[in-house]
Amino acid sequence: MTRLCHKPPRIDQPRPAQGVSISRRDGRAVECTALEMRHRGNSIGGSNPSLSASFPFMTLTLNSPDAMPGGKARSCFLVSMARLILFNKPYGVLSQFTGGGPGETLADFVAVKGVYPAGRLDKDSEGLLLLTDDGKLQAQISSPKFNKEKTYLVQVEGEPSVDALVQLRKGVTLKDGPTRPARAKLIEPPDLWPRDPPVRFRKSVPDHWIELIITEGRNRQVRRMTAAVGLPTLRLVRWRVANWTLEGIAPGQWREVRAGLGPARR
């Protein structure tokens, strides 16, 4: 949950020490020598023989901070990992906490304060929506410059031809410019939950499923891409963003996970 250190460049190498007791709320405890404790720009410290403060996930208590080896003050940095929530957004729900009717906003499903969507998912689309309390992580997930892959399962109207799939892979030209090359393939109907309301089909026109992987996130991009190659989208489910998937998460449910992106694709 947290990592402790004496100097910021070495946050992955904790050192045992004395003078400051840090009790994690999960029952574990660690110690670190410090006259000053910093947490996201806030600091506490001084010559008080005893001083307590609470942070997310832990409580800090300074006991006799002047009793340090050699009398030297060192800084100890507390790094609290960002919160990251995987939410399976149902059809008809907005990617925001306010501004909709009953059952139409994230507030009706995610009772967690201080988190915000990293990217968006249209009201008429379903699937994985990431929420975090960390602005930097939010940008890394949603900004196209970080090239984070997003996998969509797309039910389309019509018969996807080889030429249509090739066009999607090479990139298609939309009103706001050409899209980046994507990965596209025809797949068997995925084992998904029934949509509410059900998808409207035309009995005279066949439907098929495509897996489409993109690294952008323009407004209604996937729908516009399939329409550009003559395949209107009937149902759209985002299954994966970067390393996170919907596996095991039912519609309207969420799960909190470790926030770790790994290296960006280039």
Laid out side by side, the sheet with 36-39 consists of 2-5, 75-80, 36-39, 42-45
Distance between alpha carbon 24 and the CA centroid of its chain, in Å?
Answer: 25
Q: Are 109 and 228 in contact (CB under 8 A)?
A: no
Alpha helices in 104-244 (DSSP H): 135-142, 162-170, 221-228
Catalytic hit among 12, 66, 122, 133: 122
Is residue 122 part of the annotated active site? The answer reads yes
Interatomic CA distance for residues 113 and 259, integer angstroms: 17
Q: How many CB atoms lie within 10 A of CB 180?
A: 11
| Tokens coding 47 | 């010559």
Residue 135: closest CA among 72, 83, 70: 83
Interatomic CA distance for residues 172 and 216, integer angstroms: 13
| Tokens coding 152 | 């969509």
DSSP for 62-103, written as a single string: EESTT--GGG---EEEEEEPPPEEEEEEPTT--SSSSSS-TT
Residue 168: closest CA among 242, 221, 208: 221
Q: In this structure, are strands 75-80 and 36-39 parallel, antiparallel, or unpaired?
A: parallel
State the Cα angle at 32 between 28 and 35, rounded to 5°: 135
Q: Which residues are catalytic?
A: 122
